[in-house]
Amino acid sequence: MTDKGSMQGEGDRKSARRYRKDTEDHIKSHDVEEEARRAEPESDARRKELEKAEEKGRKRAKEEDPALVRDYKDAAKD
């Protein structure tokens, strides 16, 4: 039998804190703008291929990710 205290399910706080800390550390210690530029598709053909794949994935989604359309100017409402 497993100790319930050590079980971590989807969305657990310990993992969320670790992810947030690791992300903040990465942003502070890396040039994320340069990383983003290096991650861009190497050609227009590759860009179109990725856009097509993304559209295909969106068609299967039940709804749009709310984080993509969030109005950050009015964050006080949250």
Residue 1 confidence class, pLDDT cut points 50, 70, 90 = very low
Write phi, then psi, for 71 (nearest 5 degrees).
-90, 95
Q: What is the pLDDT of residue 20?
A: 95
Res 77 pLDDT > 90: no
Beta carbons of 41 and 47 less than 8 angstroms apart: yes
b/e 22-61 (16+ beta carbons within 10 angstroms → b): eeeeeeeeeeeeeeeeeeeeeeeeeeeeeeeeeeeeeeee
Q: What is the pTM of this model?
A: 0.51
pLDDT in tens, 26-69: 999 999 999 999 999 999 999 999 999 999 988 887 777 777 76
